[in-house]
Structure 1
Amino acid sequence: MDDLDHRNLGVKLKLWHLQEDAPGMVFWHPRGYAVYRVLEDYVRRKMRRAGYAEVRTPQLLPQEFWGRSGHWDKFGEHMFRVDDGDLAMALKPMSCPCHVQIFNKGLRSWRELPIRYAEFGACHRNEPSGSLHGIMRTRAFEQDDAHVFCREQDVEGEVARFIALLDEVYCDLGFPDYEVALATRPAVRAGDDATWDLSEAKLGDAARQCGLAPQINPGEGAFYGPKLEFALRDRLGRSWQCGTVQLDGVLPQRLEASYVAPDGSRARPLMIHHAIFGSLSRMIAILLEHHGGVLPFWLSPDQVAVAPISKDQAAYSADVLAAFEDAGIRAVAYDGADTLSRRIVAAHEMAVPVMAIVGGREMRDGRVSLRERDGSQADVPLAEAVSRLRARARPGAFVAEALSPANAGS
């Protein structure tokens, strides 16, 4: 592994660890979980503004339920089974059938549609040990999962809503360019040809109406429907398939989802599945390698390291730290016994983007010296330092700073 492989970076930056007796299971350390929560909370806000209601569904459900949805036939060998007496249970590999259960509670009217659910769904898949790869491919992971229950005439608008959301998120993360493919019906699939004809046509039309020209990936669709696949391209030219949007007429039928149509009859909704990241841990790995281990300020686990020159500034240094924290800036104290130069090196090794250095003059004048990773410094009043860093902490702000030559690598 090279120094910029996410598996090395995770250990070096004290973000997470993996261990042999728990293959494919990630132990998130405080710094790594800070990045995880920033991404999760960021997408949560985006989804809420886009009209999605967040839900939470169980991890363990009867095997019979997964049989009805079709997932046991398709993924059974990769599902973790748990026996509860005479009842066979299984850990969920994905959340979509669970969202149908929420939709099915109560009588739904066409006036309520579209109904949009979102979940950071914790999923488990018993991947072969040889396919595991750091935190990019694991056995336990969390998806930014969302599902829309809608009518046929809603499909284009809902797909457009998702693509606009995905485009905004990818730009904030430093991926303004991405490739799109339409994955069509696989050889082994559920549903009849008429359902697939409709789903493929609607999804392709929706993409083109959004100005996209997807290439065709024959036979690569999900077993229940076609999908649009969005692939990011990192600064090394590598392509990473992340986001997906899928149109599904199968699961609503298998799990008996229905709503009351305008004429009073019962009708089946269509179901749109989508995710922007796919897996939060995989997205973090991609971001780390894309940014050479130095994440943009808004994503950094520790955004500013507060370092007093001597113990004489300890009290003021604590005030500086508190001022940053009160402003929502992730600040950490670098106030150990080492020399200031050693503490600067230590912060640099942890990829902390900014040092806030406090000496006697800064304490006397209520100021702080902000030192960037490239060595540039600015001596400013504390209130201005807080304002500057708070502006940089907005999602997407200064997204290119981590890709500058001065910040690349360690």
Structure 2
Amino acid sequence: MKEQMIEIIFPDGSVKGFVKGITLEEIAGSISASLKKKAVAGKVNGQLFDLRRNIEENAKVQIITMDSEEGVEIARHTAAHILAQAVKRIYGDVKFGVGPVIENGFYYDMDLASSVAVEDLPKIEKEMKRIISENLRIERVDISREEAAKLFQEVNDHLKLELLEAIPHDESVTVYKQGEFEDLCRGPHLPFTGYLKAFQLTHVSGAYWRGDSNNQMLQRIYGVAFSSQKELEEYLHFIEEAAKRNHRKLGGELELFMFSEEAPGMPFYLPKGQIIRNELESFLREIQNEYGYQEVRTPFMMNQGLWEESGHWGHYKDNMYFSEVDYKSFALKPMNCPGHMLIFKNKLHSYRELPIRMCEFGQVHRHEFSGALNGLLRVRTFCQDDAHIFVTPAQIEDEIKSVLQQIDYAYKTFGFEYEVELSTRPEDSMGDDKLWEQAEAALENVLKSLNYKYRLNEGDGAFYGPKIDFHIKDALKRSHQCGTVQLDFQMPEKFNLNYIDENNEKRRPVVIHRAVLGSLDRFLGILIEHFGGAFPTWVAPVQVKVIPVSNVVHEQYTKEIEDKLKQAGIRVERDIRSEKLGYKIREAQMQKVPYVLVIGDKEMENGSVNVRKYGEEKSEVVSLPAFMDSVQSEINNRIS
């Protein structure tokens, strides 16, 4: 009987005939021996398949190799199974929950009689390496629901039985086998355990079964995996560097901020941290003054009716804080927008007044679950550099261009690179289609006219309008969403805002929501990690530390230096404690003070200063006026 043929279409568009039932592994081998060796899986009509899966009909095929993003994800999935197998070998009676792929790695949730600690991870890793060295064949087995139930009933694994029950009855059930280990799984997986080359277990934690606090607590073991040892080592170095720069750690060491159980998720700023906050606000005020903004202040708490009118109630009520005052429900504001709408509505405006640019350093409150809190990066109260610009339709594009210039200037001042994202209408949006299309087109036109490269993020706009988000990249190449520009036709309708046009008729303004740094608290957390606590001089809470070699001999001259620096507007501290000179210098370096001035006999005689710049090994002796001019220039020009 003649063999039945099928057509396979490759990514480059070429078509080749193969015998029906051919595997992806065989297709890879037909292309080249090297591709067959590197292949770990494939895509058939866009769906991921194991390498040994048979293809029964015409299809578009793409071979997946380990060095691709999808290949690494498959390796991480297999690493989770190898982890589970290793734990089973070591601990015996184990019930398994889920073992998914996560960013950079994987985890597995398990129910064990004994507790697994971080100290146990090396022995689990050792067993995983043994399983990898055994190079076990990984097989996909299609079984009936009844067979799967029997399999997990025999090992008394109630977690897998619950997962089995959750699989829709019109879906097939598959099990993956490697040696003595079997797991309920959709796959795909690597062909053999020996394909996994670079992994490391990282930490353990508790996790409620299926994320529900009413369920039992399981043990979760985390790991990372990469396509090569080099990539793994680079990642571990990144993690080590990130730990050194952690803003919570540095925030305590540098005496910038603190948290207390008396106000969970709400930062307390210490004097040095408040100096940085003040510098950020001063910087933003300069920009806002230059671009014609008017600063306002609105109440922290407003009544529930206002939030219902604005539309925030339906979208934010679960994240708002409430209190009853005079038998009425009031809420701490989660946003500043409604307050600014009320200020605009306070009097009638002429078209000649527009655009009206209203800004506020507004303190907002949003309830976050305790598990989501993360230092300054995720808090329950924060200060937002909010602005609302009231414009005519004809002014929209020019005003957005102006906002983009402000954001670009601010980020470049700190040395941040950034990416731009245009987010369009979400499912829970307000307003009609025509207004949304008009708003989205306006934002897109501005980005194109300014030659901005941007990516489209469909469905992620605010409920009242589309937005442009700005993602800055820190020193470790991590991305943080900070600035935003949002176009809003809805809020003016809801608050019945009007201006009088040139024909003496009432017209609706359009509102542009704008934040440059976003949450000042979050931005400070990012700054701490970006600079590793070694802030640019203009931001540093202490810009100069003056240390006498001898408190007895040199104290008076150091006092004169301190006074002159203060008069010049330079933040300075003098260390005249009875400690050794070396200790005081090291402490100043640990506090990451930009400049340390060591004053001895020579400096006192010559009216000079011995300057040690943070991060540099050599010191230099310069005149005090020259040093002051240099530092003032650095501060005034905001050199980062």
Please classify the TM superposition score into its range, dividing by the shorter chain length.
over 0.9
Q: Per-residue displacement from partner, 1:167-200 (whole Å, max 9, x unpaired)?
A: 111011111x211111000001111111111111
1:2-401 alignment, distance < 5 Å: 2-175=243-416, 177-311=417-551, 312-373=553-614, 374-397=616-639, 399=640
Q: Per-residue displacement from partner, 1:81-102 (whole Å, max 9, x unpaired)?
A: 0101311111111111111111
Aligned residue for 1:297, secondary structure, equals coil
Offset at residue 304 of structure 1 (A)? 0.7
TM-score (norm 2): 0.61
Q: Which residue of 2 aligns with 1:404?
A: none
State the aligned residue count.
397
- Contact residue 149 and residue 269 of structure 1 kept, 8 A: yes
Q: Which residue of 2 aligns with 1:403?
A: none
TM-score (norm 1): 0.95
Q: Per-residue displacement from partner, 1:350-384 (whole Å, max 9, x unpaired)?
A: 01011012122222322211111213222122111
Aligned residue for 2:469, secondary structure, equals strand
Q: Per-residue displacement from partner, 1:119-159 (whole Å, max 9, x unpaired)?
A: 10111111111111101110110011111000111111111
Offset at residue 21 of structure 1 (A)? 3.0
- Contact residue 155 and residue 206 of structure 1 kept, 8 A: no
Query: Hey, what's the Cα distance between the residues in 1 that align with 2:637 and 2:274?
Result: 17
- Contact residue 174 and residue 396 of structure 1 kept, 8 A: no
- Contact residue 172 and residue 395 of structure 1 kept, 8 A: no
Query: Hey, what's the Cα distance between the residues in 2 that align with 1:112 and 1:387?
Result: 43
- Considering only aligned residues, what root-mean-square deviation do their CA atoms show, in Å? 1.2
- Contact residue 367 and residue 379 of structure 1 kept, 8 A: yes
Q: Per-residue displacement from partner, 1:243-271 (whole Å, max 9, x unpaired)?
A: 10000000011011100011111000000
Q: Which ranges in structure 2 are unaligned for 5 or more consecutive residues?
A: 1-241
- Contact residue 246 and residue 274 of structure 1 kept, 8 A: yes
Query: Hey, what's the Cα distance between the residues in 1 that align with 2:608 and 2:526?
Result: 37
Query: Hey, what's the Cα distance between the residues in 2 that align with 1:57 and 1:210?
Result: 34
Q: Per-residue displacement from partner, 1:294-333 (whole Å, max 9, x unpaired)?
A: 1111211111101111122112211111111111111111
Aligned residue for 1:167, secondary structure, equals helix
Higher gyration radius (CA): 2
Counterpart residue identity of residue 333, structure 2 = K
Deviation larger for 80-89 or 358-367: 358-367
- Contact residue 171 and residue 396 of structure 1 kept, 8 A: no
Q: Select the structure that is richer in strand.
A: 2
Query: Hey, what's the Cα distance between the residues in 2 that align with 1:316 and 1:85?
Result: 62
Query: Hey, what's the Cα distance between the residues in 2 that align with 1:395 and 1:44?
Result: 16
Q: Which ranges in structure 1 are unaligned for 5 or more consecutive residues?
A: 400-410
Which structure exhibits the higher relative contact order, with contacts defined as CA atoms closer than 8 Å and separated by 6 or more residues? 1
Offset at residue 108 of structure 1 (A)? 0.4
Aligned residue for 1:196, secondary structure, equals helix
Aligned residue for 2:357, secondary structure, equals strand
Query: Hey, what's the Cα distance between the residues in 2 that align with 1:235 and 1:106?
Result: 47
Query: Hey, what's the Cα distance between the residues in 2 that align with 1:325 and 1:209?
Result: 47
Query: Hey, what's the Cα distance between the residues in 2 that align with 1:199 and 1:85?
Result: 41
Instruction: Among all aligned residue pairs of Structure 1 and Structure 2, give the percentage whose two residues are the same amino acid.
Output: 39
Offset at residue 395 of structure 1 (A)? 4.6
Aligned residue for 1:225, secondary structure, equals coil
Deviation larger for 377-386 or 7-16: 377-386
